[in-house]
Structure 1
Amino acid sequence: MYDSKGRTIKEEVLTKHTPMVKKLAHQLKAKLPPNIEVDDLIQAGMIGLLDALSKYEETVQAQFETYAVQRIRGAMLDQLRENDWMPRGTRKNMKKIELVLNELQQEYSRHPTEIETAKKLKVSLKEYQKMLSEGAGHQLVYFDDFNGGGGEDSDHFLDRFYSDTSSDPLQALINHGFRAAVIKAIENLPEREKLLMGLYYEQELNLKEIGVVLEISESRVSQIHSQAIARMRGVLRNQKWTGLSSNT
């Protein structure tokens, strides 16, 4: 069937709801790190819209948008889950670093140095920095953290929020004070790491540009960023923002 402009009904529905897909993508992007491209979310959302259109059984026209929103958001979250992928061994090493950084900070009542952290991990400084480099892309929150049953490497950030009725896990975190906890964790970072996080997340500079500002190599920036994220995850775990205790 065609409308008055010669478009198929399918094309008409897609055209009508494309602005909604873009709106949902930008709403989600606002809660995500700068490295997530909004165009990727929009592309995933359009796939979700097509899926909704093919599966929806029209009864009351006004209900389609509600159904489509669920399919669009689901497609975007699936895209983010795929981007969360990191080799199991690397994720495990970063988790060890998180735990050691937090343990040493409590023991020393200050931030441990890289040499102290490497010694606690029983590796050389060079090996420790290699672990940080391999952990490039380590994120503060993984969508696997929301699943409540990802095995020994899963941190279950939302174990204490399963009763929340929000369909958006990131919004559930924000609603329960996670944003404030993150801001405080950043403020408590060592000065260099705090500056780096500000340049990356607030000024939206890339690693190469940050290297110029800090007068260090891009690879060194990546290491410091990985360590900052690990330090923050360790602190948040200790504050019971995950399903694990600090000594797990």
Structure 2
Amino acid sequence: MAAHRSLQGYLSSAEQPEALVAAHIELVHRIAHHLAARLPASVQIDDLIQSGMIGLIEASRQFQSGQGAVFATYAGIRIRGAMIDELRRADWAPRSVHRNSRRVAAAIATIEGREGRAARDSEIAAVLEVSLSDYHAMLQDSAGTHLLGIDDFFGEEGDPDRRLPIGLNTPGDEVESDQFRTALADAIADLPEKERLVLALYYNEELNLREIGAVLEVTESRVSQIRSQAILRLRARLHDWFNGGGQTPAYRIE
């Protein structure tokens, strides 16, 4: 993954608050290693660090101490955001993988809209007209496109409060952002128990796939499949939000 913008260009383009940058280089490395531990081995730590340094330099330029924020907190948001933005730009997955992910989400939406309950693996495979093993292989391939998981439900800039799939320019937009968060929370609460547990262990407890597999007594690849299916199920249930409708799902799993 090549960094989208030249770090050298940022360093030479204008005079930087060098003291802030120098004092927080370790923060960039710490965030990069923490993020890399949750990403495929193909993601290079040096690329994350370079993107993070750009975020740190931008933070040092824009930080205003009079606003009451601590620089390390502000910089951490910008550093992680720069890394995440670069990961999105460096999407490596073939179009066929993205196409299959959309097919899976559509199949889930069809089944759950019809049955009013969580779609089972065998039902999804049947709608897709593939074997169960082929469906699980599709989930495994799709897992690589969900580098960020829950973060993928938000837009740019790295700060979850600023990265909703809608703008925040008017009071009406703020209401919609709250509605989206409520819809996302409801959709997560309605996930099958094992999918909900995997997401909780991965995002809340920050366990890696191997550690979650040990907890659930399943293989690491199976955990990856469960996580991938959970993300696709959430996308299916929040379809209207991702297509500009700004509405809650037409059905709710009971």
For the criterion TM > 0.5, the same-fold answer is yes
Matched, 1:202 2:204: yes
Give the C-alpha shift of residue 241 in structure 1: 1.3
1:118 corresponding residue in structure 2: 125
Does the alignment pair 1:14 with 2:10?
no
Which 5+ residue runs of structure 2 have no aligned equivalent? 1-13, 65-73, 157-163
* Alpha-carbon separation, structure 1, partners of 2:87 and 2:203: 18
Give the whole-Å Cα distance in 2 for the aligned partners of 1:163 and 1:44. Answer: 26
| Match for residue 212 of structure 1 among 211, 214, 218 | 214
1:80 is displaced (CA, Å) by 3.2
Per the alignment, residue 231 of structure 1 pairs with 233
Over residues 146-187 of structure 1, what are the superposed CA-to-partner deviations in whole Å (9 max), with x where a residue is unaligned?
59xxxxxxxxx73xx24638xxxxxx8994443333222111
Superposition deviation, residue 40 in structure 1: 6.6
Structure 2 CA distance, aligned partners of 1:131 and 1:191? Answer: 22
Output aligned runs, 1:110-189, within 5 Å: 110-137=117-144, 138=146, 139-142=149-152, 146=155, 158=165, 161-162=166-167, 164=169, 175-189=177-191
Equivalent AA in structure 2 for residue 211 of structure 1: G
**Gap runs ≥5 in structure 1:** 1-9, 53-63, 148-156, 166-171
Query: How many pairs are equivalent?
Result: 204
- In structure 2, the CA distance between the partners of 1:13 and 1:211, relative to structure 1 (3 Å rule), is same
Relative distance call for 1:65 and 1:47 in structure 2 (3 A) is closer
Given that residues 17 and 61 in structure 2 are in contact (C-alpha distance below 8 angstroms), is that contact kept between their aligned partners in structure 1?
A: no
The letter for the 2-side match of 1:126 is S
Contact 2:139-2:225 within 8 A present in 1 as well: yes
Match of 1:88 among 87, 95, 102: 95
The residue that corresponds to 1:65 in the other structure is: 61
Counterpart CA distance in 2 for 1:178 and 1:162 is 12
- Judge conservation of contact 2:213–2:219 (CA < 8 Å) in 1: yes
SS of structure 2 residue aligned to 1:241: helix
Q: State the distance in 2 between where 1:203 and 1:219 align.
A: 19
Quote how far apart the aligned CAs of 1:236 are: 1.1
Question: TM-score, normalization: structure 1?
Answer: 0.63
Percent identity among equivalent residues? 38
Distance 1:131 1:219 in 2: 12
Quote the residue 1:152 is aligned against. Answer: none
Cα distance, 1:109 vs structure 2: 1.1
- 1:79 is displaced (CA, Å) by 1.9
Q: Quote how far apart the aligned CAs of 1:201 are.
A: 1.0
Q: Is the 8 A contact 1:34 1:201 kept in 2?
A: no
Q: Normalised by the size of structure 2, how large is the TM-score? A: 0.62
Bigger mean CA deviation after superposition, 129-138 or 80-89? 80-89
Contact 1:115/1:125 (8 A) holds in 2: yes
| Cα root mean square deviation, aligned | 4.4
What secondary structure sits across from 2:241 in the alignment?
A: coil
C-alpha deviation, 1:47, in angstroms: 3.3
Q: What is the letter of the counterpart of residue 164 of structure 1?
A: N
* Counterpart position of 2:109: 102
